[in-house]
Amino acid sequence: MVLTAESAVVEKAAAAAVETAGDAVQEAGRVTAYLQEHIPDLIGFGIKVLFAVLFFCIGRIAIKWIRKIVKRSLTRSRADKGVEQFVDSLLRFGLYFLLIFTIATKFGVDAASVAALIASGGVAIGLALQGSLSNFAGGVLILILKPFEVGDYIVEDTNHNEGTVKEIQIFYTKLSTIDNKTIVIPNGILTNNSLTNMTAQPERRLNIKIGITYEADLRKAKAVIEKLLNEDVCVIKEKEIAVFVDELADHAVVIGARGWVNNEEFWPTQWRLLEEIKLAFDEEGIEIAYPQMKVHMAKGTG
């Protein structure tokens, strides 16, 4: 009886194995038949993919070549650096969009359908990208109105970002700070808010204020400051040099000093003059004021 039961189990296992093998053979036959039937289509699709990759590579080379030609033309025409960067950025986006659109049509995508889809979705896209469109319009206005150019030092008054303009792109302007950080500001912010261009003019005025005590010799202090301004090599002697009493404050007589320097010499000259004024005042015994309070004790009457 045991042998009979074991034989039955073996027969069932063998039958299941034969059935599974038969199913596998049938599935393999169906796959083979499908492949044989669609081999021409698969080969055609593979050729299209190959040509698409090849066309994209050739298109990239052509785009780089076109951008290089346009950049050289702008350089020869002495166009502004910001215009050159903006046109290059716009050209890159436009040509890559055209390249991808062309490849898509080669894959059987109907160009008219794509155009209709873009037209019908234009309003939605415009609403979704209104911030980007505002930045794009801001970039165009910056190039037309030229509130600043590449190389200018600007201060964005709303968020107090400041730095040297390095790039003016389609949507953003990049600033480089004095500590070598990069600030990326949307063009829409720069055109919709006030900003200060610190280097729009070739010359800039120093405006130094020094407070001395009321006991100090005012005439001597003014003479010392005026002498330092006249002797400094970076201060423009052809322009006005002025030393004056700016304010009679609570704790100090505030002396103002003004002179003109070239933009690139502004900060080094100001730092140097402040140091020289302090050292000269120390030598002349002129005390620089600082907040203090004097208390007078009244004598008692009884």
Confidence of residue 6 (pLDDT cuts 50, 70, 90): low
The structural architecture, per CATH, of the domain 136-197 is: Roll (2.30)
Query: Considering only CA atoms, which of 181, 195, 182, 189 is closest in space to residue 149?
Result: 195
**What pLDDT was estimated at residue 193?**
86
CATH of domain 33-120: 1.10.287
Measured CA to CA, the distance from residue 225 to residue 89 in angstroms comes to 51
Fold of 203-284: Alpha-Beta Plaits (3.30.70)
Give the mean pLDDT of 106-128. Answer: 59
**What pLDDT was estimated at residue 10?**
60
Sheet hosting strand 161-168, strand order edge to edge: 182-186, 172-176, 161-168, 153-156, 195-197
Comparing 181 with 290, the larger pLDDT belongs to: 181
The DSSP bridge partners found for residue 225 are none
Domain spans in the chain, listed from the N-terminal domain onward: 33-120, 136-197, 203-284
% of the chain residues with pLDDT over 70: 72
Q: Decide if pLDDT at 279 tops 90.
A: yes
What is the identity of the amino acid at 3?
L
pLDDT digits (tens, 9 = 90+) for 193-214: 888 898 888 899 999 999 999 9
Return the number of other C-beta atoms located less than 10 Å from residue 244's C-beta: 11
**Is the pTM above the cut of 0.75?**
no
Query: Considering only CA atoms, which of 272, 199, 277 is closest in space to residue 243?
Result: 277
Measured CA to CA, the distance from residue 268 to residue 271 in angstroms comes to 5
CA angle, 70 then 75 then 76, to 5°: 100
Mean confidence (pLDDT) of the chain: 80
Q: Residue 142: which region, alpha, beta or left (left: phi > 0; alpha: psi -120 to 50)?
A: alpha
Q: Decide if pLDDT at 21 tops 70.
A: no
